[in-house]
Every structure is written in structure tokens, then in C-alpha cells.
């Protein structure tokens, strides 16, 4: 196969979605490799997971920079030094500047725990239950400057069961996230995903 696409992952916390990407990339026929993990918090547990997997892990604290633009410039420089081609946000709890987003347009993916455009932002599971929804889920999309927008690459539905709490629903959605994110990255890394306007077109294998 052709060279694997080089992927950088940005995290702020435990890195469970990052781990699902690392695990998928262990397969020899997976079209991407995780070459760098960057965390913006020293207590991001995912940094230790990355190091244990033999992946370079960097901590770049946003608090060390005078502005969002300066922090994003440091991220951009570090990603480029590692020759990263695709960026995956995995629980990265920082809004990125429009300039950074545009620099990585259609090369930066995010996963969100709802069926976008429903329930962008936080507390997605509580909001879905409160709204009386029968179905929740998760979405992988290309990042745009507006939060939780951008062309949808893939979605997975998860039924909302009677008696579900935000925590029980979140646990089931997270399992779906761990399957969906590696699948979506695979499609992008294989070059099968094309953005036309604001919609994603996926070519057959």
C-alpha cells in the first residue's frame, strides 16, 4: 500500500478516543499512523497512554501563551515539525482560532457525542433525554471555525433506553465513538472523502 497518512491527535483529558485511533493504527493495513499526541493540560491522562504506546507526546499548556493565536501558532509549528498531514481532535476542550482552522481545512477531524446538527456544545446526553429523543449518537466531522459545525463524515446512532441517565447513555455512546472515529479516519486517510460545498462525498473503495 501507499505511505500511511501521518496523524496528530489533540487532547485535553483521558484520551479514550485517541486510544481507539492508536489501537486501530496498529493494524498493518490501516492507512494512517499516529505520529504525535499533543495535550494542553498537564493532567491529561491520554499523554501517558500515548507514551506507553511509543508515540511522541507533547504538553503545550495554553496558559503559557498570551493569546489564543499565540497558542495556536505553537500547535501549528509543532504539528508541522512532526510532518503531520491530518489532525484529529479527541476531547480537545479549546476553541481554535479561525486562522488555525482554515490552515487545516478539510484535514482536521473532530468527534462529537450527538447526531449533529442536534445538540452542539456540552451536556449533549442530558439535553437529548430532556428533549424526549428516542435516538442519540455521535458524529465525526471536519472542523470549521464555528463550534461543532462542519461537513459530516460519519455518524452512528445509539438508542435511548427507558430509564437512561446522562451517564448510562454517555457510556453507550462512547462505545460507538470508539468504533466510529477509526472508521471515519480510515475513509479520510484512504483519500475516499471529498468535500463539495458543505457536504461530504465518499467514493467507493
- Residue 1 pLDDT class (50, 70, 90 cuts): very low
* Catalytic residue ranges: 112
User: In the structure, what pLDDT confidence band is assigned to residue 81 with cuts at 50, 70 and 90?
Assistant: very high
Q: What is the DSSP letter of 120?
A: -
Whole-prediction pTM:
0.96
Render pLDDT for 27-74 as a digit per residue (tens, 0 to 9).
999 999 999 999 999 999 999 999 999 999 999 999 999 999 999 999
Cβ neighbours, 10 Å, residue 68: 15
Q: Which residues pair with 88 in a beta bridge?
A: 9, 109
According to the model, what pLDDT value does residue 60 have? 97
In this prediction, residue 161 carries a pLDDT of 97
> How far is 66 from 100, CA to CA, in rounded Å?
16
How far apart are the C-alpha atoms of 61 and 68, rounded to whole Å? Answer: 11
Radius of gyration of the chain (CA): 17
CA atoms within 13 A on the CB side of 160: 22
pLDDT at position 2, please?
64
pLDDT confidence of 205, banded at 50, 70, 90? confident
Domains and CATH numbers, the chain: 1-104 (3.40.50.170), 111-205 (3.40.50.170)
Q: Are 194 and 201 in contact (CB under 8 A)?
A: yes
Q: Report the length, in residues, of the chain.
A: 205
Amino acid at each position: 500500500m501507499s505511505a500511511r497518512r501521518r496523524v496528530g491527535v489533540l487532547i485535553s483529558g483521558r484520551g479514550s478516543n485517541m486510544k481507539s485511533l492508536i489501537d486501530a493504527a496498529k493494524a498493518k493495513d490501516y492507512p494512517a499512523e499516529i505520529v504525535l499526541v499533543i495535550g494542553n493540560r498537564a493532567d491529561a491522562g491520554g499523554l501517558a497512554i500515548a507514551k506507553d504506546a511509543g508515540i511522541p507526546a507533547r504538553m503545550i499548556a495554553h496558559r503559557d501563551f498570551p493569546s489564543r493565536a499565540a497558542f495556536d501558532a505553537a500547535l501549528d509549528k509543532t504539528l508541522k515539525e512532526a510532518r503531520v498531514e491530518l489532525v484529529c481532535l479527541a476531547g480537545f476542550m479549546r476553541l481554535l482560532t479561525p486562522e488555525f482552522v482554515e490552515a487545516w481545512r478539510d484535514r482536521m477531524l473532530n468527534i462529537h457525542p450527538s447526531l449533529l446538527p442536534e445538540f452542539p456544545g456540552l451536556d449533549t446526553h442530558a439535553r437529548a433525554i430532556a428533549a424526549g429523543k428516542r435516538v442519540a449518537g455521535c458524529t465525526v466531522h471536519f472542523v470549521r471555525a464555528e463550534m461543532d459545525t462542519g461537513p459530516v463524515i460519519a455518524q452512528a446512532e445509539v438508542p435511548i433506553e427507558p430509564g437512561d441517565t446522562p451517564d448510562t447513555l454517555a457510556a453507550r455512546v462512547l462505545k460507538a465513538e470508539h468504533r466510529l472515529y477509526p472508521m471515519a479516519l480510515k475513509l479520510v486517510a484512504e483519500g475516499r472523502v471529498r468535500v463539495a460545498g458543505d457536504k461530504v462525498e465518499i467514493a467507493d473503495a
